[in-house]
């Protein structure tokens, strides 16, 4: 009986550790979405200045807007993937990021993205 109990405890611990790995993997995925969104946001804003005088202004506005809209999508998708990861894992020891914090931070990033679109549409391009 003692061997069976030890095996049971070891299996339970492996399950707990797997649940912790699942939580940490979800956080890495969230971070990747945010990192991708920030890169797209910076590219969209930078396109206005970098491409001025190289391609027509209407093309700059389209490219910049698409990049910034993609960044907003990435911010929203990061929160969605973190909040709805699929089948629930066993109860982990590791705490998940609080959903209100995720929504607040990514909502702020989306607001920055939308203000960047206004800047791309109505801001000056040239030196």
Structural domain containing residue 48: 2-122
pTM of the model: 0.77
Q: What's the pLDDT at 77?
A: 93
Q: Is residue 84 part of a domain?
A: yes
Q: Is residue 127 part of a domain?
A: no
Q: Is residue 108 part of a domain?
A: yes
The contacts found for 103-106 with CB under 8 angstroms, 24 or more apart, are 103/79, 106/34, 106/75, 106/76, 106/78, 106/79
Rounded Cα distance, 80 and 69, in Å: 16
Q: Could you tell me which of 108, 115, 106, 116 has the C-alpha nearest to residue 64?
A: 116
Our count of domains for the chain comes to 1
pLDDT tens digits for 93-112? 778 788 899 999 999 999 99
Q: What percentage of residues in the chain have a pLDDT greater than 90?
A: 47
pLDDT tens digits for 34-67? 999 999 999 999 988 888 889 998 999 999 999 9
């Amino acid at each position: 009986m003692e061997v069976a109990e030890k095996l049971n405890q070891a299996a339970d611990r492996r399950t707990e550790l797997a649940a912790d790995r699942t939580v940490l993997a979800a956080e890495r995925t969230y971070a990747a979405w945010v990192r991708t969104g920030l890169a797209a946001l910076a590219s969209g804003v930078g396109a206005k200045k970098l491409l001025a005088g190289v391609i027509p202004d209407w093309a700059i506005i389209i490219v910049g807007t698409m990049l910034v809209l993609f960044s907003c999508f990435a911010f929203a998708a990061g929160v969605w993937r973190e909040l709805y990861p699929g089948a629930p894992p066993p109860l982990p020891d590791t705490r998940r990021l609080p959903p209100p914090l995720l929504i607040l931070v990514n909502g702020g990033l989306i607001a920055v993205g939308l203000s960047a679109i206004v800047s791309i549409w109505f801001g000056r391009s040239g030196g």
